[in-house]
Amino acid sequence: MSPANRNLLLLILNATVWSLNALTYKGNIRLNARSGVPVTIDMEPGRARLTVDGKVWENFGITDGWIQSPAIVRLPAGQHKMLLERTGYAPHSFKVLVSEGDHLQLKMAMEALEGSNHGAEIIGEGPDSDSIIAKLDDGMEEGLLPIRADDLTAGHHSLALKIRGLEGLRAKPYTCVFDITQTDISVITKITVNKTGKKLKVTGCKRLKEVH
């Protein structure tokens, strides 16, 4: 095989490996869970939305970009521009240079903005309340009840609730909104969720379909 043909073949093989290991789709960057160089991000606060090279991070079918500290992301070898974002904090951008065989460990703290000292506590009451999954502000905080956020800004906030185990039954989440009034003093908003069978009753958060 001539050197020119050999180089062409190597180029095609490299392109094929890249396409299998790093795919872009609808503006997201999606990597095979076992491919790429691992980069551990230990950050404060514990959740933030990650963008890599201008594309929203996607991993294990999660396409909204939110990662939980300590998060392990896998990147193709080379230099990458990364961005962490969360409401109430200044955007935090940085670059990483990764090489095959590396395992980078990054530790960083995002800068809290003035006025992001308010909080919300979502708790469940009654039997099986720990089966309720809550998502605050489209993923700023997410998980089984109870959940809490201590770094909210004054203004409009959203909450989506669903019962674990019903996700595949096309059950629509219970969505509601609440407001935090601007004040220099820290305010904690408490929201209580009661579960009766497959129905939820929420106190302290106005159901979205009732908002005009």
pLDDT digits (tens, 9 = 90+) for 24-57: 333 454 444 457 899 999 999 999 999 999 999 9
> Looking at residue 211, what is its pLDDT?
45
| Residues 73, 44 share a domain | yes
Provide the pLDDT confidence category of residue 19 given band limits of 50, 70 and 90.
very low
> Looking at residue 169, what is its pLDDT?
53
> Looking at residue 170, what is its pLDDT?
61
| Residues 125, 100 share a domain | no
Looking at the structure of the chain, the number of domains it has is: 2
| Mean pLDDT within 120-134 | 91
The per-residue pLDDT for range 146-161, each reduced to its tens digit, is 999 999 999 999 999 9
> Looking at residue 158, what is its pLDDT?
97
3-state helix/strand/coil string of the chain: CCHHHHHHHHHHHHHHHHHHHEEEECCEEEECCCCCEEEEEEEECCEEEEEECCEEEEECCECCCEEECCEEEEECCEEEEEEEECCCECCEEEEEEECCCCCEEEEEECCECCCCCEEEEEEEECCCHHHEEEEEHHHCEEEECCEEEEEECCEEEEEEEEECCCHHHCCCCEEEEEEECCCCCCCEEEEEEEEECCEEEEECCEEHHHCC
Contact call for residues 178 and 121 (beta carbons, < 8 A): no
Contact call for residues 153 and 113 (beta carbons, < 8 A): yes
| Residues 39, 130 share a domain | no
> Looking at residue 26, what is its pLDDT?
37
> Looking at residue 31, what is its pLDDT?
44
Spatial separation of the C-alpha atoms in residues 96 and 86, rounded to whole Å: 20
Q: Tell the residue number behind the tokens 């039997």, with chain if given.
A: 127
Number of Cβ within 10 Å of residue 67's Cβ equals: 21
User: In angstroms, how far apart are the furthest CA atoms of the chain?
Assistant: 75
| Residues 83, 122 share a domain | no
Sign of CA dihedral 9, 11, 14, 18: negative
| Mean pLDDT within 10-30 | 37
Cis preceding-peptide flag for 127 (omega within 30 of 0):
no
Spatial separation of the C-alpha atoms in residues 88 and 66, rounded to whole Å: 15
| Residues 67, 86 share a domain | yes
> Looking at residue 209, what is its pLDDT?
72
| Residues 135, 53 share a domain | no
Q: Which domain holds residue 14?
A: 3-109
Q: Tell the residue number behind the tokens 């006025």, with chain if given.
A: 115
CATH number for the domain spanning 193: value is: 2.60.40
| Residues 165, 144 share a domain | yes
| Mean pLDDT within 63-88 | 94
